[in-house]
Chain A
Amino acid sequence: MTTSTSNMRRNMTPYYFLLPAMLVLAVIILYPVVSNLIMSVYKVKLFRGAGDEFIGMTNYAKLLGSRTFVNSIWSSVRFTVYSLPVAFVLGLGMALIFNEIKKYRPVFTGFLLVPWAIAPVVTGYMWRWLFHDTFGLVNYALLSLGIIDANIPWLAQPDTAVGAVVVANVWRFMPYITIMLLAGLQGVSTELYEAAHVDGANIFERFFHVTLPQLKHVIGVVFLFATIWMVNDFALIFIMTEGGPAKATQVVPITVYRIAFEHLRLGKGAAAALILLLFLLSMSMLFIRVLFREQRKKADAS
């Protein structure tokens, strides 16, 4: 009898420990996820009057037929697809250089962390100021170098605005990529590298056939995380352009915000948010599968 009570008590202990965290998660994460799903098939007004009206897939149909929403998907894709390769190549280059630096490396990586540490909002204001058409450093530098002969209103034209937010985004994400790849490079076996050297492989062959394959896993993680973060960005773009001009930089999260809190269509906004979530969820699933498979392999090996 006593054993069973103490067993019972022991069995309850973990739940007591979990309770506060799970309660917060339930209210802040789980309930909203479910609620979002339900809202997306209703017509929901910000200030509830007669109650919500069930309208099935109408919100989704409307969204997919809406120029603004489809355009915002393209804005998100553009933003990510332009930023990622540039940030990756620069980040990889930096990682390879930093890998040669043995003494004082923390000093270099310390500076590297700065763009990653500061708030996206600050990054946004900073680049807005740098791209300022009359007082900005970018125009001044390009003018002085003779590359352009008149100031460019970077943030006032669709194409250049996209370029400007991409530059700011690359600045912000490159350090993360460098840190990750630098950590990955520490695990690259030097024996293989030396063997390739002895076999007469040149520096490029060694890089593509020895270094890169061993970084595969880290590169996968970097691409997934960076994609998720970039697609999800709101602050940086909103501060720099507010999604403009002519909605050229209005990415999906900004559209979600506008539909819900400017046009006050909560149901439609929820549907847009769910489309975003489904995309990011499928990316995360992929990540988790890769991670667990890797761990299982490690467990089998040992």
Chain B
Amino acid sequence: MRVKTQAKIRTWLAYGLGGTFVFALVLPLIWVVTTSVRPLSEMTQTPPLIFPRSITFDAYVDLWDTGPFAKYFINSVVISFSTALIALIFSICAAYAFARFRFKGATLLLMVVVMSQMLPGSSILIPLFQVIRAMGLLDTHVGMVLIYTGFAIPFCTWLLNGYFRAIPVDLEQAALIDGCNRLELLYMIILPLAAPAIVAVGTFAFLLSWNEFLFAFVFTKSQALTIPVGLRAAFLGQYVNKYDQLFAASLIFSLPPIALFVGLQRYFVQGLTAGAVKE
């Protein structure tokens, strides 16, 4: 009986402490949300008001027509979706080659993939700038998609390779005898079985370009400017800081990543901890 009570207290304590922790963690975000729904006059009040006196969603409406935010938003959507799609197609093919064929240079190329995965963006920023400039792709959607695809491929290929290897080859051998070619095999057998990994990898590539700042900051000026860089240009000026709109835009911008992370929590955690946790 005593043990049972102890266990109960322990559980309640865990929920209490866990809840407190989580609340402390999201408190900054709650503050930002309340900032985005108060009138500017209330925002710049000292001392700050904890609870807004009046709530307005003006910022969420105004941010679309007063500045270039709409354009940056479209840029972000176009670049991120293109990156996800292209990185996915290229990585699926590459991972299939690694998982199903023995060929000269396989180990070396896989090493290249693994090493590239660890490569920090800032360490090749300068030569990459020259490459993109030489190709005439500075400040273009194509240039940004190319860069993000390059940075997404290593992780995508590595993860898919592991997943493909776990799929038994018997099915493919039967289909090969039936006269399917390799592409058909990939499309009809591997892809449906690897659906969870493909979702995870596509999400990864999408978020990589959606959230990226450094390359967008250095390689774009106006045409291909994405939200992470555009926030400042759109809402922070020398004379007026539209904090309400800045945070309204930031929150809209944060919705896709939050929805994807939370919605795909299970796959995501699996991917994140793959290889790191002993089974």
Contacts and interface: CB of A to CB of B under 8 A. Distances in A.
A276 B123 contact: yes
A231 B221 CA distance: 26
Interface stretch (A29-37, A63-71, A154-162): A29-37
A39 B126 contact: yes
Nearest to A134: B46
Contacts of B122: 232, 234, 252-253, 256-257, 273, 276
A17 B231 CA distance: 39
B94 A125 contact: no
Interface in B16-44: 17-19, 21-22, 25-26, 28-29, 31-32, 35, 43-44
Contact of A118 (B17, B98, B258): B258
Given A21-B153, A98-B18, A130-B28, A269 B126 contact: yes
B192 interface: no
Contacts, number: 284
Contacts of A171: 25, 28
Nearest to B14: A100
B254 A118 contact: yes
Interface residues of B, number: 95
Contact of B48 (A14, A97, A140): A140
A174 B112 CA distance: 30
Interface string B101-121: 101001001001111101111
A108 B22 contact: yes
B47 interface: yes
A101 interface: yes
Interface string A30-49: 11110110010000000000
A101 B260 CA distance: 23
A104 B157 CA distance: 33
Interface-centre pick from B149, B246, B250 (highest chain A CB count, 10 A): B250
Interface string A129-151: 11000111100100110000000
Contact size class for A? 35 or more
B25 A111 contact: yes
**Majority SS at the chain B contact face:** helix
B130 interface: yes
Given A33-B124, A129-B247, A180-B276, A28 B118 contact: no
B180 to A, nearest CB: 13
A193 interface: no
B34 to A, nearest CB: 10
B243 to A, nearest CB: 7
B165 interface: no
A32 B131 contact: yes
Interface in A248-293: 252-253, 256-257, 260-261, 266, 269-270, 273-274, 276-277, 280-281, 284, 287-288, 291
A39 B131 CA distance: 13
A276 B123 CA distance: 7
A270 B11 contact: no
B116 A25 contact: yes
A39 B121 contact: no
Contacts of A198: none
Interface of A: 11, 13-15, 17-18, 20-22, 24-25, 27-33, 35-36, 39, 93-94, 97-98, 100-101, 106, 108-122, 125-127, 129-130, 134-137, 140, 143-144, 171, 174-176, 179-180, 183-184, 186-187, 217-218, 221-222, 228, 231-232, 234-235, 238-239, 252-253, 256-257, 260-261, 266, 269-270, 273-274, 276-277, 280-281, 284, 287-288, 291, 294
Given A17-B101, A117-B258, A256-B123, 4 more contacts: A21-B90, A35-B131, A117-B262, A270-B127
18 contacts: A20-B89, A21-B91, A29-B154, A33-B127, A117-B262, A119-B254, A121-B228, A130-B31, A137-B28, A140-B48, A171-B28, A180-B272, A253-B120, A256-B125, A257-B218, A273-B125, A291-B275, A294-B278
Interface of B: 10-11, 13-15, 17-19, 21-22, 25-26, 28-29, 31-32, 35, 43-48, 89-91, 93-94, 96-98, 100-101, 103, 106, 109, 112-116, 118-131, 146-147, 149-151, 153-154, 157, 182, 207, 210-211, 213-214, 217-218, 228-229, 231, 243, 246-247, 250, 253-254, 257-258, 260-262, 265, 268-269, 272-273, 275-279
- 8 closest A-B pairs by beta carbon, nearest first, are A28-B150, A100-B14, A235-B213, A21-B94, A14-B101, A117-B261, A119-B211, A35-B127
